[in-house]
Amino acid sequence: MAENRLTRELDTRVTEERPKQWMPPELLPEPDKQAGYDYRWVRVSLNGQADPRNISAMLRQGWEPVKVEEQPKFKLLVDPSSRYKDGVEVGGLLLCKIPAELVEQRKEYYAKQTQAQAEAVDSSLMRQSDARMPLFSEKKTEVRKFGKG
């Protein structure tokens, strides 16, 4: 009886695949990432009207338009009527990049701003505290173990 059996390697199991589902295409294609840079789609126009305030603010922050040569898969997406002839523009959005260290510095700057504002609110709150009915602001958490650990 054991002589008629197939070896385990020859025995195959037919697997069922899930039926593929249609999904709408992404509105904005994902660029090929370059090491040391962060990418973002920046608004250059809204409802057909140019938005110079937004793009100039982003350029002052350090964002620079990505050239089509850097992202060859976007050659078909170049808008011939765009002010940024070498840039990648899709639906009023321009692909831009910025060095990653600038993004990190920006995060640290806003984290300090947030911390300073939170401390100002806390000091204002505690200044209004009365000994008869103190205001309490607890800012720490602790982990307690329940049961045997």
143: confidence class by pLDDT, cuts 50, 70, 90: confident
The total of structural domains in the chain comes to 1
pLDDT tens digits for range 36-85 = 999 999 999 888 888 889 999 999 999 999 988 888 888 877 777 778 88
- pTM of the complete model: 0.62
Q: What is residue 88's predicted lDDT score, i.e. its pLDDT?
A: 87
CA angle 3, 5, 7 (to 5 degrees): 110
- Measured distance CA(132)–CA(130) in Å, rounded: 5
pLDDT at 71: 86
Inform me whether the pLDDT recorded for 1 exceeds 60.
no
Rounded to an integer, the average pLDDT of 98-112 is 94
Task: Tell me the pairing of strands 93-99 and 64-65.
Answer: antiparallel
Boundaries of domain holding 51: 38-99
Q: Which of 11-20, 88-97, 99-108 has the largest mean confidence?
A: 99-108
Minimal CA–CA distance to 71: which of 28, 32, 20? 32
**Residue whose entry in the numeric block shows the structure tokens 């205001």:** 135
Answer yes or no: is 126 within a domain.
no
Residue 17, domain member (yes or no)? no
Look at residue 137 and tell me if it is in a domain. Answer: no
| pLDDT at 103 (0 to 100) | 92
Sign of CA dihedral 39, 108, 51, 63: negative
The answer to whether residue 33 sits within a structural domain is no
Helix/strand/coil percentages in the chain, nearest 5? 30, 15, 50
* Residue 92 forms part of a structural domain: yes
Predicted confidence (pLDDT) per residue in 2-32, tens digit:
567 666 666 666 666 677 888 787 778 888 8
Is 87 within a domain? Answer: yes
Task: Return left, alpha or beta for 129; rule: phi > 0 is left, psi -120 to 50 is alpha, else beta.
Answer: beta
107 occurs within a structural domain: no
pLDDT band at 123 (very low <50, low <70, confident <90, very high): confident
